[in-house]
Amino acid sequence: MDSDRLRRLFEDYKAGNKNMEEIMSDLKKLPYEDLEFAKVDHHRALRGGFPEVIFCQGKAQDHIVKIFEALSRCNCNVLATRAWPEAYAAVSKVCPRAVYHEAARIISLVTEPPPHREGKILVLSAGTADIPVAEEAAVTAEAMGHNVQRIYDVGVAGIHRLFAHRDSLFDATVIIVVAGMEGALASVVGGLVDIPVIAVPTSVGYGANFGGLSALLTMLNSCAKGVGVVNIDNGFGAATLADAIVRSAARLAAGKQKGATA
């Protein structure tokens, strides 16, 4: 955040040259921090509800450290996905409070408690091998302030395991279903509930799974209602979509309540 630009915005507002809506619009356009190899968007939270998240895969370890440090200087919560232990060790030298979530492959730094979100996000995995992607979704959603429940290894090969948790299915606000192999679990869950189901195909499976393509196509061709699909192994994308759904529902409910009391 550039203090001079921010000061000018406040002076314009104080002088009556701009209203609050114009000020908020200007804040969304304020500049990013240029690290030469990366342009760190410090205003992502203002526009999207959560700070910019670092996707570590393919990045040089030194770049990850510098981006993480730049984000931490804003006193915001920081997430780095697809991280490895050595990257965490390097980050922890400049941000000692950072935490590594091994199963999720996420580095997190919590500088302030995230806002509490109403409702519950339920994360299901078809098999134990799908847990890394499921954990990426669960840890991301928790970092965004959501109440997350995990139920793992309830795939269609033993569907009675899923039915034993039917109360949790019906009590959820959004369900994230993570499945590899043929990816049938999302259709089963979609046929049981009346809430949004976010399907995440994983690359887990034998050769004809084609690295998750078979699960992706199964989920896209689901005949169950209310099933949306994200990319292969994209637990992060599923969590952010679930977050958007929950926040949109909360805004709608708040608007209705405000209208009822006006």
Q: SS3 sequence, 52-78?
A: CCEECCCCCHHHHHHHHHHHHCCCCCE
Report which of 225, 232, 208, 243 is spatially closest to residue 130, judged by C-alpha positions: 232
| Radius of gyration of the chain, Cα coordinates, nearest whole angstrom | 21
Residue 242 has pLDDT above 90, yes or no: yes
Average pLDDT over residues 88-105: 94
Structure tokens at 28: 């969304």
Report which of 105, 6, 81, 1 is spatially closest to residue 44, judged by C-alpha positions: 1
CA-to-CA separations, 108 to 3, 180, 189, 195, in angstroms, rounded: 27, 26, 30, 29
Report which of 180, 177, 176 is spatially closest to residue 210, judged by C-alpha positions: 180
Q: Answer for the pair 154, 165: CB distance below 8 angstroms, yes or no.
A: yes
Average pLDDT over residues 110-133: 89
Residue 29 has pLDDT above 70, yes or no: no
Average pLDDT over residues 21-42: 71
Residue 250 has pLDDT above 90, yes or no: no
* Domains parsed from the chain with CATH numbers: 32-109 (no CATH), 120-248 (3.40.50.1970)
Q: Answer for the pair 89, 62: CB distance below 8 angstroms, yes or no.
A: no
Q: Answer for the pair 218, 182: CB distance below 8 angstroms, yes or no.
A: yes
Q: Answer for the pair 128, 253: CB distance below 8 angstroms, yes or no.
A: no
Q: What is the pLDDT of residue 145?
A: 86
What is 127-140 written as a DSSP string?
A: SGGGHHHHHHHHHH
Q: What is the pLDDT of residue 70?
A: 84
Of 4-13, 123-132, 245-254, the range with the highest mean pLDDT is: 123-132
Q: Which of 4-8, 167-171, 214-218 has the lowest mean pLDDT?
A: 4-8
Q: What is the pLDDT of residue 1?
A: 46
CA-to-CA separations, 194 to 191, 218, 250, in angstroms, rounded: 8, 20, 18
Residue 2 has pLDDT above 60, yes or no: no
Average pLDDT over residues 57-65: 93
C-alpha to C-alpha distance for 220 and 215, rounded to whole angstroms? 9
